[in-house]
Amino acid sequence: MAEAPEFDMPEFIPGTVWLVGAGPGDPGLLTLLALHGLRHADVIVYDALVNADILKLTRPGANMIYAGKRGGRPSANQPDISRTLVELAKAGQRVLRLKGGDPFVFGRGGEEALSLAQNGIRFRIVPGISAGIGGLAYAGIPVTFRTINSAVTFVTGHDSDGGTPAGLDWQALAKGSPVIVIYMALRQLDAISQRLIAAGRPGDEAVALISKATTGEQKVVLTDLSHCAARAQEVQLQPPTMMVVGPVAKLHQELDWIGVMKATQN
């Protein structure tokens, strides 16, 4: 077997911070650059949604600092996390900030990068596969499909205080986007579905709920807008859960490649 080609990776310089996306869960979805950073960092500041198997890829002896933020639970506050990154970098550490999904997609990576820039800390952004792309792919749901939708909207399921996003124009969202992908939707499923229906989406529109996407505990529930909240409670879905609204959700029935693989292995 031919050896894999080698190529240069950027040096992880002491006193710098890498903001790294860990992807939606499956360690196989890490980028090569993310893996390179994990193997060279002196300290890892990681989020709650980072798969424990990914943390095993860090170099021996690396300092591990938990900075998880989970809705409804005691969490590290954002100013303290940003301050920690600055202080560690100023102490000459190679600091890797590990965030679930992509750092710049509902991940507050922009806030942390801005803090680093304002404090004169050099940093690198390492994008990750966002759950709104990778999670849907693992559920057999194309985020776009040529004969169904030429646009998709990504929405956060809650604002900074945990409530339904108040700044959204629900009328425009409901009318303007054939497919809506809502991150972190579980706690607000009832409110979200009611707002979308009130804004004109049909109650029988297809909805897919994807819990713990790309992990061994992934669960996909196909339902509709009127019944999604009750259905999630019935099957006891756990966070993180994404909500997919629109006709592409139905494709899960035919494109559930994980289900097919499991069936053929048994």
Cα angle for residues 84, 85, 91 (degrees, 5° grid): 90
CA 81 to chain CA centroid, Å, is 19
Q: What sign results for the dihedral spanned by CA atoms 73, 78, 81, 87? A: negative
Q: Which of 76, 65, 22 is nearest to 43 (CA)?
A: 65
What φ, ψ does residue 209 adopt, rounded to 5°? -110, 125
Q: Which residues are catalytic?
A: 47, 69, 184
What's the CA gap between 266 and 254, in Å, rounded? 19
* DSSP-derived secondary structure letter, 250: G
